[in-house]
Chains A and B, each alone.
Chain A
Amino acid sequence: MSDINKQRRQFLKLATAISVAVASLSPMQVIAGKITEDNKMDATEHAVFTKMLTTSLPTEGSPLIPPASLPVIPTIEGALLAGMPPHIRQGLNQGIHYFNQGPLKKYGKSFNELPDEQATAFVDEWTSSEKAPHRALAMGLKKLTVLAYWAIPDTWTPLGYVGPVSEKWKLKYRGVTPEPKA
């Protein structure tokens, strides 16, 4: 296999790892998960998610809850680290570092150092890129960040969404259906 093909394959694997990881987020994992030295966020990952959070959810002037007032980053960390298979976790880590270096050529800064306007432009450029791994990385990290935000029930109030209803509506349990008579 040529070096270019090897790099492409590795790149695809990293992007896939992000995409696969995205759906694993949930509050339950935060409750159940254990963050260890091997799987906790490193400084770059923390900085990338923090930057992605402010880039994705600029709530000033809107009724939405400011993300800085919510435990979004711990939710991402707990969800990612608690439920992710080691090979996906490793790929995710590499993918985040790659993404962080993405703007260097054009903007002269890593993603976590970009001003908000440029960070927004960079994410939009990659989500519409002709390169599938760029699309997957940008979309995956953005999706992961906003999912963590919306998974926190406090964020639903400004939308008028009330969440679970069975207890609020005092619904009765039907229980097991009787076995059919022969």
Chain B
Amino acid sequence: MMSNKNQLNVKTSEDMTATELNIEADVVIIGSGAGGGISAYELAKAGKKVIILEAGPYVPSEKFTEMMAVSMATMYEGEGAQSNTDGDITVLQGRCVGGSTVVNAALCFRTPDYYLKKWGKEFGLTNLTPEVMLPYFEKVEKNLGITEVKPHETSSGAETIKKGLKALDIPLGLARRNIRDCAMTGFCFAGCKTDRKQSMMVTYLPWACNHGAEIYADTRVTKISAENGTAKGVNAEVIDPKTGVTKTRLSVKAPIVVLAAGPTGSPLLLQQSGLANSSGQVGKNFACHPSLSVTAIYEKKLNDFHGATHSLFDDRHTLPENGGWIQLNAVQDPVEASFMAEPGTGKPYVRYMQNYPNSTRLITLIHDKNVGEVTMENGYKEIRYQVDDEDFEAMKKGLKENARILFASGAKYLYLPTYDTQRINSVDEIDSVIDALENESARYRYTSFHPQGTCRMGTDKSKTVVNPYGETHDIKNLYVVDASLLPTSIGYNPSETVYALASYIADQINEANPG
């Protein structure tokens, strides 16, 4: 129970004693991440009784371990093992109270006007103009403390890479993050133990609870209900995470249902419920910003262990017409570094890991086509997605630029994140090594932090799932507020886009449902 103002009003499976629980509310929200958290606050503040159901556990920040492997097992979807069907792209998402906002890098970009205009032209989203969206970006930036990194908020690896950017006369992009008073631990992906990262868990969710919202963790929604084309509520199960046993069957009757289960969870719930899919597009159009991390080895130790997780970027080529890739630095612990490169089996690998203190890395992330699909098969989630051939060519161009920056920063040699050994020993080898790469499955060590697009937004009911105001075309008062909405990949971290869209859609819900 909430004992102090501004705390989370969260119940977990341990708190549940009844085998059945029936709740009536004005709004039920499925998911407590960016979309769910912001919707919860804006709707509760408007006087609505809000219930939030979160499938993942509640992990208080003081229990964060600052160990990536442990955090993955406790706070990530599929215990960090969610991947595409081929198993060569790890698709990372949060699954805990606060969702991905608890385990993301806190990197924020406004949606480029390019995409807002493109969505207006191609998807009829003429309501989401840069002018309309500007106050929403400003609002979430203020609420979440989104600001540019300060001069001291960096890392030894970033400072080294900065020299390469300068040598090549590349403009330095300074990261903007939702962090207040960063302690420079470098553990954004494992959860910010001292609450500097402004995740939903320390912002919108407790603010929602100030206005009476209630959160149920360990609670998996099994079905969304609708009658006569209008949402009616949900059925859910509260599951003991230690045993997997269902403790309570929960039913929430509510005239407004807000779906914020993420781009792999939201389409599956709609599919399971048999709702909102007259277009046949639910689960389709999946994109994920595949990324590859190039490891550079230097003569001297960098000890790039702690500091801002991301502090710099180069986005000159991020829009598709400019190439379609972005470069980002990142700090990494030994567990992550242990599988990011393939130096060869045995002794070469031991030497590679001995050189971990002498290494840093630069990530190339691509704007990708929405060619994937999320479905449930034989009771298990399937993410069918392979990198498109054209997108792979963009990746190669990005990797070449990446390699040039790292050599210009003083790197002795580089490892590409491939299954077999792909080492680049000098600037002269960059083109020949990277030109020889082919787009094949089980060849590259891709990571994705940005699933999106599976319930896309637009005016055409035959090609999109959700209307321009966030409501599904088919079911009245059933809204989607997560990255599923994005009609196209955007090439930048989509968190601020989701924050702003969720804030906009909450206003639409309040306007359509006053009182």
Please report A residues at the B interface, Cβ cutoff 8 Å: 15-29, 32, 55-59, 62-64, 83, 85, 87, 116, 120, 123-124, 127-128, 132-133, 135-136, 138-140, 142-143, 146-147, 149-151, 153, 155-156, 158-166, 169, 171-180
Contact = CB atoms under 8 A, between A and B. Distances in A.
Nearest to B85: A16
A146 B87 contact: no
B385 to A, nearest CB: 13
B392 interface: no
B334 A85 contact: no
B353 A64 contact: yes
Contact of B207 (A62, A83, A159, A179): A179
Contact of A173 (B6, B194, B338): B194
Contacts of A179: 6, 206-207, 210
A39 to B, nearest CB: 14
B202 interface: yes
21 contacts: A17-B87, A23-B81, A24-B80, A26-B69, A26-B80, A55-B345, A56-B349, A63-B354, A83-B79, A127-B421, A135-B419, A135-B420, A136-B88, A159-B353, A160-B357, A165-B187, A165-B306, A171-B183, A177-B145, A177-B203, A180-B142
B50 to A, nearest CB: 15
B225 to A, nearest CB: 28
B80 A172 contact: no
**Closest 6 CB pairs between A and B?**
A19-B87, A128-B420, A164-B66, A26-B73, A24-B81, A28-B73
Contacts, number: 199
Nearest to B74: A28
Contacts of B198: 177
Given A23-B81, A27-B70, A174 B207 contact: no
Contacts of B185: 165-166, 169, 171
Given A16-B85, A24-B73, A163-B66, 8 more contacts: A19-B87, A23-B80, A59-B350, A135-B419, A135-B420, A164-B65, A166-B187, A169-B185
Interface residues of B, number: 71
A27 B69 contact: yes
A173 B193 CA distance: 8
A81 to B, nearest CB: 13
Contact of A16 (B73, B87, B346): B87
Contact of A23 (B72, B351, B441): B72
B181 interface: yes
A16 B383 CA distance: 13
Nearest to B7: A176
B202 A177 contact: yes
A163 B69 CA distance: 12
Nearest to A138: B419
Contacts of A55: 345-346
A28 B203 CA distance: 28
A147 B335 contact: yes
Contacts of A155: 334
A32 B241 CA distance: 10
Interface string B51-86: 000000000011001110110111000111101011
A133 B442 contact: yes
A159 B335 CA distance: 12
B350 A173 contact: no
A158 B187 CA distance: 21
B334 A156 contact: yes
Contacts of A174: 180-181, 194-196, 202
A163 to B, nearest CB: 7
Contacts of B345: 55-56, 120, 123-124, 127, 142
A25 B350 contact: no
